[in-house]
Chain A
Amino acid sequence: MKTKILIFASLLLIYSCNNEVDITNPVVDPSNFLSQTTPLPTTSKVIMEGVYTVTKGNELLGDQVVVKWTRDRLSIFSGKNGGYIVLDGGSLDSVVFFMGYWRYSTNLETGVASFYVPSGEGGKEIISGDSSFSTIKFVGEYGEGNELANNPLVLEFKRQFSQVVKQNTFHILAHRGGGRNSDYLGVSENSIAMLNIAERFGTTGVEIDARLTKDGVPFLYHDSDINLRLCQKSLIWGNIEDFTWAQISTLITLRNGEKIPSLREALEYILEETNINAVWLDTKDVDVVPSSIEIQQEILDRAITMGRDLKIAIGLPADDVYEEFIAQPGYQDIPSLCELSLDKVREANSLIWAPRWTLGIQTSDVQQMHAEGRLAFTWTLDDANYIEEYINQGEFDGILTNFPTIVSYYHYIKQ
């Protein structure tokens, strides 16, 4: 009897535990207060951007933060645990109000956050667009989980972004369209919903993963098979490229409830609904190369017509994809991003060389690429200590990361 109990208990030990995550989504603006405010004009937004000292709330955000407008949200990036705040805002009378949530990138801690900029401490000047005023104070509170905001938060303007930051284009590329499923952002990787929020994390570019259905439709999906990391349970399993577009669209739902987007839908969304200016189109299957190129060209032509600054590069991660790419007519005029050797970058005439970050800073190789008029990105770098070193010591033109908030922080504080 003892034996059976012990064995049963030990089996329970394995199967009773799991890695399921329970994340709180804080309720922001329950009284819909911001609907009473007036949206801020673009001229007002730029005034607020800069590096701020945290005078209250250091336990949450550390000693300094970066304040940056990202399309339609005000984002605040901190160096502590990859912390960030995403705020929606507007003005009422001569006060600027913000409401939103804070979150740590590296874990699941989150809560509500709210600020106001008093009339006498920058509010009036922000609303009027007076950029000569530099004493801006964000006065606010934050809460933990679903608790009401009752911990003080005060940010005081310290300085603008440095000339190094302002004059150099640095690409903050978000992995999988904005983040991974394992980051528990509430939306699925490689989905339209993820592309919609990516810029709130400081993202200026995205990496997305392209595959091809059985009937030749390119779509976004990272893994080779249908699995529960990416999808909800369904009645079809196996290699996702064994199914047609209609079958996938009908039977597969991504983990947070979205549909799998086609490549065309995703690039059109990026072009028309976002300010994202760089797309790393990672080629997960060799067969998708011709279709990807066709759609890439179409979207780039439309971007030119719209006056939109948008780069889309076909990713060449492996030798088979590389061989398929250079077999395409006019491949040297097709914007591409090559992860392989420098010689292959040159042979493909790639716009961008992108080595894995675990190969080091490789300054001399990066300088060679710059001398040839090419860019250099590195991937996929998440460790905050390494991000700081790569930004300060390296010469890469961009970092692909799952934590664009951390890259944003270290980039914008650079002097």
Chain B
Amino acid sequence: MKKVKWLMISGIVVVFFSNSIDTFCQQLNFNDHTFYYPHPYQNGLMISSLGLSMAKLPEDVVETDDVFRGPLFAYQLKYGLPDNFVVEGGVTTNIVTFQFALGPKWNYEIDRTGISVGADIAYYFGQLEHFGFDTKFTGWALYPNISAGYRFNKFAITVKSELVLNFGGTSKNGDLEIENDLDFFNGWTLGVYVEQPLWNDQFVVIGVRSTFLTFYYPMWAAFSTFDRTFYIPEATFTFIL
């Protein structure tokens, strides 16, 4: 009888741990852990992300062929609202420049396919008072956007496109301040983002984005005067928090 009791205890222990691992794998919830994949969020659900992107800056502007010299850190937050809406906001910075963006999105999902449409409004400002600069720069941008995604078993892939529209803002050098003379239609972007767990339920995003712009705000200090569209590819790595 004692042997049977010990065997039963041992068996319970083994089963308990085994089931934990299986159950753990089944508990991964894409909808609560993905940031780019479009899907309705629970009302009141908040999800945030912290990422780093690196851009290949146009050589004609920065006068170097070193790519990926434009690191941008981004913290983003999404908050679920009723009726498939979500509000998204965030801050992006390369230390001398900050951009604050905020905007709504409407999401819709059928089976494993999701779409969203939205628009963000952003304010950016930059300041540099070293290396021969006594300069400030501000501006506004509007980013209408659309995303489409597909959720596989173990990862989700999303394609997102944005228009980039500029308006307002000024630049100031020393005591001289001038209104920005940027074209309203600045360009557009197209990005592909793959979201998947890296370990446990820690999701990460690996993304690549193609940007076609006349004015790329993180490069404001170059005071580019080229009146043509530049192709700026970016690579992104983001942790979903």
Contacts and interface: CB of A to CB of B under 8 A. Distances in A.
Nearest to B235: A14
A358 B134 contact: yes
Contact of A361 (B152, B175, B226, B228): B175
B37 to A, nearest CB: 13
B68 to A, nearest CB: 12
Interface string A281-323: 0000000000000000000000000000000000000000000
Interface in A351-370: 355-362
Given A10-B208, A107-B227, A229-B65, A362 B174 contact: yes
Interface string B142-172: 0000000010100001000000000000000
B111 interface: no
A13 B60 contact: no
B210 A360 contact: no
Given A2-B150, A383-B225, A360 B175 contact: yes
Given A3-B152, A10-B208, A17-B233, A389 B190 contact: no
Contacts, number: 97
Nearest to B132: A356
**Interface size of A as a range:** 35 or more
B59 interface: yes
A13 B208 contact: yes
B192 interface: yes
Contacts of B210: 13-14, 17
A324 to B, nearest CB: 20
Interface in A391-407: 393, 402-403
B186 to A, nearest CB: 15
Contact of A356 (B59, B133, B227): B133
B159 to A, nearest CB: 8
Interface centre among B174, B181, B228 (most CB of A within 10 A): B174
Contacts of B110: none
A251 to B, nearest CB: 19
Contacts of B61: 182
Nearest to B212: A17
A382 interface: yes
A106 B226 CA distance: 5
Nearest to A339: B132
Given A6-B192, A10-B192, A13-B192, A360 B227 contact: no
A179 to B, nearest CB: 12
A310 B60 CA distance: 32
Given A6-B157, A10-B192, A106-B227, 7 more contacts: A14-B233, A17-B233, A182-B61, A229-B63, A382-B223, A386-B173, A390-B176
13 contacts: A3-B157, A10-B208, A13-B192, A13-B233, A106-B226, A107-B227, A358-B133, A359-B173, A382-B225, A383-B223, A386-B176, A386-B178, A402-B225
- The 6 A-B pairs with the shortest beta carbon distances in the complex, nearest first, are A360-B174, A182-B60, A356-B132, A10-B192, A107-B227, A106-B227
Interface of B: 58-61, 63-65, 128, 132-135, 150, 152, 157, 173-176, 178, 181, 190, 192, 194, 208, 210, 212, 223, 225-228, 230-231, 233
Interface of A: 2-3, 6-7, 9-11, 13-14, 17-19, 21, 81, 104, 106-108, 180, 182, 223, 227-229, 339, 355-362, 382-386, 389-390, 393, 402-403
